[in-house]
Amino acid sequence: MTSSTTISKRERILGGLWGLLTGDALGVPVEFKDGATVQADPVKDMREYGTHHQPRGTWSDDSSMLLCTADSLVNHQFSLADMGERFVRWMNDGLWTAHGDVFDMGGTTCTALMRFAKGIPADQAGGRHEDSNGNGSLMRILPAVLRFAGEPQELFSDRLEKVSAITHGHARSRMACVFYGQMVRQLLLGWQPQAALDLVRAEFAGSYERSPEFSTFRHILEDDLVSVPEREIVSTGYVLHTLHASLWCLLTTDNYRDCVLKAVNLGGDTDTTGCVAGGLAGVVYGFKSIPVDWIRQLARKGDVDCLFHEFAELCEASIGKKGS
C-alpha cells in the first residue's frame, strides 16, 4: 500500500531536506538533557538559547555538514575530496553554519577531518574502531541518498558507504547509512513507512547478512517497532540507537510534526534524532507538511532555500520527474 499519490518527487525531496534541518533546530536547545527533564517541559515549538545558548531556529553541525554535502553534489558529480574539503572549511571557517561559528562537533568527526586535512584520502579518514560508531555520518547522509536514489543498488550502497567513511569508516556506521538510504528510497516511491521497512529489511539482509556486523542490527531488523514502548527507546549519539529511535518515531506517528516532536522529546541526542527522523518524515509527508512557522524561523532561510531548490532539481532529473 502506498502513501498519498498527490505528493510529487520534488515535494518529497524538499520535504526530506527541510524536514531534517527543522528537526535539528528543534532539538538544539535541549540537546544532552535526559528524557525525564525534557518531558517535564516538552518541546512544542522552536525555542531559543538552552543548551548551546543559540537563537531560535539555529541548526547544528548535523545540518551544516548536510548543507556542505548538498553543496558539493551540486558542484561536483561525486567527489569525496571536495566533500572533505567543505567539511574542513566548516570546521575551521564556519562554512554553512547558522551564524558563522561551530558550537558543537563530535570527537570522531573532528579527528577524521584533521586526518583528512593532513593528507589522508577522504575515504580513509574516518575512524574504523568500534568506538567510532557515533551518528556523525548518518545525520548528514540524506543528500547522497537523494542524489543517487535512482542508481542500481550496488552502486547506491557503495556511494553511501564512501560518503560515510569520510568521518565514520567502521562497517557498522557505513551499513547504518545504507539502511537509512534504502528506507528513504522506498519512501520516495510512495510506500507507507511499515511497508517500506519490511521491504528494506529483506533488501538489507540480502546485501549484508554475511557481514560480521549484521547481528548488531538485530533490533532494527526484528523489532515490531509499533509495539515497542517508549521506555525501551534509547536516544544517544550511538549510530544504531539513532537509527532505531528515528524509525520508531516514524512508525508510531502519522504526520511530520508529531514525528519530530516525539524524536526531540526523547531527550539525549535531541538534535540528531530530530534531524534523522525529520528527514524520513519529510520524505513521507512532503514539504507542505512541515509547519510554515517553523521554517520561517530557521536561520539563513534564503541561502538554504536557494541551495535546496538547486539540489532538488538535480535529484529530480536523476531519478525521474514523475510523482509517486
Identify the three-state secondary structure at position 2: strand
Phi, psi torsion values for 134, nearest 5 degrees: -75, 180
Q: Residues in the chain, how many?
A: 324
Given 3-state DSSP classes, what are the helix, strand and coil percentages for the chain, each rounded to the nearest 5? 65, 0, 30
Contact 35, 4 (CB under 8 A): no
Residue 191 DSSP label = B
Domain ranges of the chain: 9-319
What's the distance, Cα to Cα, between the start and end of the chain in Å?
A: 12
State yes or no: pLDDT of 323 exceeds 50: no
Q: Sign of the C-alpha dihedral, residues 123, 127, 129, 130?
A: negative
Q: Identify the pLDDT of residue 223.
A: 97
Mean pLDDT calculated for residue range 62-90: 97
For 247-301, the pLDDT digits (tens) are 999 999 999 999 999 999 999 999 999 999 999 999 999 999 999 999 999 999 9
State yes or no: pLDDT of 3 exceeds 70: no
Mean pLDDT of the chain: 95
- CATH architecture of the region 9-319: Orthogonal Bundle (1.10)
Q: Identify the pLDDT of residue 1.
A: 43
